[in-house]
Amino acid sequence: MNKTPEQIELAKLQSRLTKRFHKACADYGLIADGDHILIGLSGGKDSLALVEFLGRRSQIYKPRFKVTALHVRVRERAYETDMTFLEHFCTEHQVPLVVRDITIPPAPKDADKSESNPCFLCSWFRRKELFNLAQELGCNKIAFGHHRDDILQTLLMNLIYQGAFASMPPLLQLEKMPLAIIRPLCLIEEKDLVRYAALRGYEKQKKLCPFEHESSRTKVKELLAQMKALNPEAEDCLWGAMSNIKTDYLPKI
């Protein structure tokens, strides 16, 4: 039976993304025997791809590692994900799913502007829940679905807002707890993930975050697009520049 153009495109794209996923894991030493990796599963295309690729990789004999996904629902935020789809998706890729509901308390009156920012608070409390569950389950690594565009945008954000030439590392060993942060999609471009999600039939979130287009990251994403208009290879140049910089700086989001 002849394949459709979409099936051919999906096969080629899946092959390319898989190679970049494996390259990132090998180049940065992201996965080792005996790991138990907790995935932050928001329900967006990036975290869904992370579940798919890590789930598939965990079925290969070497290295042997376990994967669990955590989806955090924040009562104070209006975004919503189809839980039935998430459950079926995780089952399909043999990744156990844990769902937690949390409440974000109001920011203290003396909190500075960044700490009272709704995006900062949401991110901070969701990550706290990830760290808590990781310790409960004995996980030694937490995986985030940050792709190459995210890392480049963070570089620009740190330059503009923090005065630091730094970004998110593919692998970060935390000092205060026996946990490491890994980003296995770090070599994959967002445009490829967008197309892959469409071809694979990933369901979109039912309701998006109301602050999604109001963040500093959105503005920096637009700035990066302007840089690409000046030089189509701007992203490659920025990525190359990061090979010579400090990457263990953690910005406030």
Give 223's pLDDT tier (boundaries 50, 70, 90).
Answer: very high
Residues 90-137 have pLDDT tens digits of 999 999 999 999 888 776 666 565 555 667 777 888 899 999 999 999
Tokens of 72: 């955090």
Q: Classify residue 96: in a domain, yes or no.
A: yes
The model's pTM is 0.88
- Note down the domain range covering 154: 5-244
Range scoring the smallest mean pLDDT among 86-90, 199-203, 240-244 = 240-244
Residue 66 belongs to domain with CATH number:
3.40.50.620
Q: What percent of the chain has a predicted confidence (pLDDT) above 70?
A: 85
Q: Classify residue 46: in a domain, yes or no.
A: yes
Q: Classify residue 123: in a domain, yes or no.
A: yes
Alpha carbons within 13 A on the beta-carbon side of 110: 0
Per-residue model confidence (pLDDT) at position 231: 95
Give yes or no for a contact between 40 and 46, defined as CB atoms under 8 angstroms apart. no
Q: Classify residue 253: in a domain, yes or no.
A: no
Residues 136-193 have pLDDT tens digits of 999 999 999 999 999 999 999 999 988 888 889 999 999 888 999 999 999 999 999 9
Q: Classify residue 252: in a domain, yes or no.
A: no
